[in-house]
Amino acid sequence: MNRKQFCIGALSGLLGFSVTVGAANGVPRCGVLSAMQDPKRRKSKWGKNTLSYFMAGRDTRELNRHVWDDEFRLAFDAWSEITPLTFERVRIRQRADIVIDVSRDKEESFGERGGVLAWAQMPPKPNYNGQLITKFDIAEFWVLPERYFRGTVLRSVAAHEIGHLLGLDHSEDENALMFPYINNALKPREDDIIKIQQLYGSNTIDG
């Protein structure tokens, strides 16, 4: 198997999450219905344009903590470039809109390399102003983009999960960052840009 399914679906709400899983015989394994297939959920988004995030945990076996921080900053920047959204890192978890963590908990479908890579909650309603969480599997071998052949590209998965945190569902476009299979995209592509700008508008500085 040389392709991994990037996410099997997204549940909306505070208990909802999208998960990144392995594909069986090349066929996607979809365990939950996509929340965004429900028209009532398609406008679920944040109620503000400045979002804070907290780095609660990192897997530092291959990449040190500073590299983890840099890769997530670049992943957030990729969304800021095309929307009015800005992201700032905070040092206190309770003050964060988004919490980024790692886990090996089997109850979260983690713990085996090549299985679940990550999951992310999605805004449960329009103009949401609570706290959402995303977690990454410690069992995976996280690497930088230039070392994609050795493991799973952290920034690609991070940017994808941030898309869910902002309210995006999966895309059927194979070139899209939000496509359910890993394509090592590092930034939102045409389909992603159209959909995120429908929610938040464009970056007026870039036009």
Distance CA 172, CA 169 (A): 10
Nearest to 160 by CA among 131, 117, 102: 117
190 is catalytic: no
Amino acid at 114: G
Is the Cβ–Cβ distance between 145 and 154 less than 8 Å?
A: no
From 161, 172, 174, 190, the catalytic residue: 161
Q: Going by DSSP bridges, is the β-strand pair 50-55/86-89 parallel, antiparallel, or unpaired?
A: parallel
How many Cβ atoms are within 10 Å of 71's Cβ, its own excluded? 24
How many Cβ atoms are within 10 Å of 192's Cβ, its own excluded? 25
Catalytic annotation, residues: 161
